[in-house]
Amino acid sequence: MIVMEDLKARGFVMKNRVIGFDQAHSRFVLKEIARIHATSLALQRDDPKLHDSLIAGLSEVVFSQDHPSNHMQNCIKKFRGKKTHKAFMRRMTQYDFIFSMFLVFIDTQYPLGSPIRNKVEAFLGDYNNNMKKIVGKNSQLCCITHGDLWVNNMLFKYKVVRQIFVGF
Does residue 2 lie within any of the structural domains? no
Give the list of residues 6+ apart from residue 55 with CB closer than 8 angstroms, or none: 137, 142, 144
Does residue 120 lie within any of the structural domains? yes
Does residue 33 lie within any of the structural domains? yes
pLDDT by position in tens, the chain (length 168)? 788 888 889 888 889 888 888 888 888 888 988 998 899 899 999 999 998 888 887 777 666 555 545 555 555 566 555 554 444 444 455 556 677 778 888 888 888 899 998 898 888 888 777 877 887 777 888 888 877 777 888 889 888 666 556 654
Look at the chain and report how many structural domains it folds into: 1
Does residue 168 lie within any of the structural domains? no
Contact 133, 139 (CB under 8 A): yes
Does residue 1 lie within any of the structural domains? no
Range of the domain at 147: 7-157
